Chains A and B, each alone.
Chain A
Amino acid sequence: MKFLEYPGMEAINSALNFETPECKVFGRVEPYSCKAAGADKKLYKQLENKYDPTSNANILSPPEDDSIRNIISPFGPMDQPASRKTLFYLIGTLNASFPDYDFSDTKPEHFRKEPSVGIVVNSINATLFNHGNERAVKDLRIWESIDQLIDLEDSDVYSFNPDTDSDPNEEEGGGTLWSFNYFFYNRKLKRIIYFTMRGVSYGVPVEEDGDEDDGNFSNTDDDQDGVGHRRKRSNVDDDFVAGDMDMS
């Protein structure tokens, strides 16, 4: 999946990242072209082997094993190449947008085909307005920009709803209050716009570091820092979002 650069996107993206009294909101809109790059080809083969009844991997399996072949997914029956293509593009988009994650094993049931573009647009607008952000829609007119890129009338919309432990929008340490993931897919133009937002509560520090590897550092250092202090996590000082807690 090839990420497409457009000059107007930066302004839109910065308008989608803002703070409200209850939470900090992160959002981004990313246009992709449905071109298979190197790693994508491997993903494509993997999916074909999994879902295509005529592929070599599946030809030899017994006929009772129909559970995979007859899946009616949100993209249509999975034994249709067009359905598999759609799944491939969506997974490819997720992989491209979240480089630290691998969504190759995501099942079709985690996606949903939304009934209409209009409903999704309204839902996103409602979320923005409820969080006090009218600027993105009314002043910056994000939907006009998006429409220029992808011709919304002619597009399908899919949403992605992962389990909590597979969710890239879940912050480490919890704190994600809400999130959504929408894909605007225009088959003719072979383009996808990935629109994601999440709201994170202030109560939990946004951790930059995993604590897995404290083995190499002598942990006794931090105990001497005094009674009231928690064990120090590097970098939290800089990235801590809300007000005045003293972490040093």
Chain B
Amino acid sequence: MATNLTPLEELFYQECLKAGNNGLTSTDFGGIHPDSPVMDTAIAMNSLLGRGFIEVFQVRGEQVYKALKKEEIGKAGALQGEEQVVYNTIRASGNEGIWTKHLKSKTNLHEAVIKRCLRALEQKALVKAIKSVKHPTRKLYMLMELTPSVEVTGGPWFTDQELDVDFVEQLTNQCYKYILMKSFPRDASCIFTSTHSAYPSAAMVRKYIMDKRISQVDLSVADITMLLDVLVYDGKVERFIAQVDEDWDDEDMDTDSDWVYKAVRDKKAESAWQDCPCGVCPVADFCTEGGPVNPAGCNYYNKWLDF
């Protein structure tokens, strides 16, 4: 970057950079080089502002100046007035992007002005229009070089703003099959002992999915965990902490990596009524004290109680 700044401007810029996100007020600037006359300070500050080295914000009624990093300077520096304001506001929205309605209220510029600036900025390839999955009809803008955040694009689950239901379902099924395979021994009538701990974690499921190349896009552990959560909420899979030692604390609970997943086998609907003879007795309605069929002389009970 060509630094054709005067020594005073350079000094101010460096001090402002050092101040980081807190920025400097005009009084601070005055204090940097107390010997120089107020006029020079003002000129230097204006020059830096005009060329885009620093920008000004309103905080609690005061004006605060923050320095722009070197990479950001080149682009905005060449812009004039309103375009610069619009560009800076868009830049401040990072990779979330900003809606034109918010752009209007933040810059207080008229709609026609904003439209013109956006068109100019688009032509200069400084900003681009994007769509959000949460608000598909809003017009959002962000800097050209940034990638939209996951909030905006929806991540791997969305293709062209639409939830790819087939993809999600297919993947979830594959995850379930893998977990099922690992949850029960070959012989389907047995289960593992309570000390068995080789249940798959989210990371292991991810490795399996990636190895099988089921998905064309790269999926992170967090993405897989989302799918596993779906299985948990559907009641197909349960999750628990694999190894609990004596000194395990509640505070240790935040890492996702401690969870392992086990498939849930359909529990037979069991109830105590099946065990006791009355529950399955064909004449239960007919049975009464003192009648032809009664509890005292019940054959089923005699058999049941005859160990």
B-binding residues in A (CB < 8 A): 99-103, 105-106, 162, 165-166, 168, 208-210, 212-213, 215-218, 221, 235
B105 at the A interface (CB under 8 A): yes
Interface string of B81-111 (1 = CB under 8 A from A): 0000000010011101011111011100001
Known: A209-B105, A209-B106, A216-B92. A100 touches B100 (CB 8 A): yes
B137 partner, pick from A102, A215, A217, beta carbons under 8 A: A102
Are A213 and B98 closer than 8 Å at their CB atoms?
yes
Are B100 and A103 closer than 8 Å at their CB atoms?
no
CB distance from B259 to the nearest CB of A (A): 32
12 contacts between A and B (CB under 8 A): A99-B100, A99-B111, A100-B100, A100-B101, A101-B139, A102-B137, A208-B105, A210-B101, A212-B96, A213-B102, A215-B94, A218-B21
Q: Name which residue of chain A comes closest to B160, CB basis.
A: A105
Residues of B within 8 A of A105 (CB): 136-137, 161
Residues of A within 8 A of B134 (CB): 165
In the complex the two chains form, what is the Cα distance from A235 to B106 in whole Å? Answer: 10
Interface residues of B in 279-304 (CB under 8 A from A): none
CB distance from B14 to the nearest CB of A (A): 21
CB distance from A50 to the nearest CB of B (A): 12
Interface centre among A100, A213, A215, by most chain B C-beta atoms within 10 angstroms, is A100
B135 partner, pick from A166, A213, A215, beta carbons under 8 A: A166
Q: Name which residue of chain A comes closest to B94, CB basis.
A: A215
Residues of B within 8 A of A106 (CB): 137
CB distance from B31 to the nearest CB of A (A): 20
Q: Is the interface of A mostly helix, strand, loop or mixed?
A: loop
In the complex the two chains form, what is the Cα distance from A162 to B21 in whole Å? Answer: 42
Q: Name which residue of chain A comes closest to B58, CB basis.
A: A217
Residues of A within 8 A of B59 (CB): 217-218, 221
In the complex the two chains form, what is the Cα distance from A46 to B102 in whole Å? Answer: 27
- Given A106-B137, A162-B137, 11 more A-B residue pairs with CB atoms under 8 Å apart are A100-B99, A105-B161, A209-B102, A209-B106, A210-B101, A210-B102, A212-B96, A212-B102, A216-B57, A218-B21, A235-B105
B60 at the A interface (CB under 8 A): yes
Q: Name which residue of chain A comes closest to B59, CB basis.
A: A217
Residues of B within 8 A of A215 (CB): 92, 94
A-binding residues in B (CB < 8 A): 21-22, 57, 59-60, 66, 89, 92-94, 96, 98-102, 104-106, 111, 115, 131, 134-139, 161
CB distance from B28 to the nearest CB of A (A): 15
Q: Name which residue of chain B comes closest to A217, CB basis.
A: B59
Residues of B within 8 A of A100 (CB): 99-101, 104, 138-139
A212 partner, pick from B98, B137, B161, beta carbons under 8 A: B98
Q: Name which residue of chain B comes closest to A218, CB basis.
A: B59
Known: A99-B100, A216-B92, A235-B105. A165 touches B135 (CB 8 A): yes
Q: Name which residue of chain A comes closest to B90, CB basis.
A: A213
Residues of B within 8 A of A165 (CB): 134-136
Are B137 and A218 closer than 8 Å at their CB atoms?
no
Are B138 and A101 closer than 8 Å at their CB atoms?
yes
CB distance from A179 to the nearest CB of B (A): 14
Residues of B within 8 A of A213 (CB): 89, 92-93, 98, 102, 106
CB distance from A62 to the nearest CB of B (A): 18
CB distance from B56 to the nearest CB of A (A): 11
In the complex the two chains form, what is the Cα distance from A235 to B104 in whole Å? Answer: 13
Which 10 A/B pairs are nearest by Cβ-Cβ distance? A210-B102, A100-B101, A166-B137, A100-B100, A101-B137, A209-B105, A208-B105, A213-B92, A102-B139, A166-B136
In the complex the two chains form, what is the Cα distance from A221 to B99 in whole Å? Answer: 26
CB distance from A20 to the nearest CB of B (A): 26
In the complex the two chains form, what is the Cα distance from A101 to B92 in whole Å? Answer: 21
Residues of B within 8 A of A235 (CB): 105
In the complex the two chains form, what is the Cα distance from A212 to B134 in whole Å? Answer: 14
CB distance from B88 to the nearest CB of A (A): 10
Q: Name which residue of chain A comes closest to B139, CB basis.
A: A102
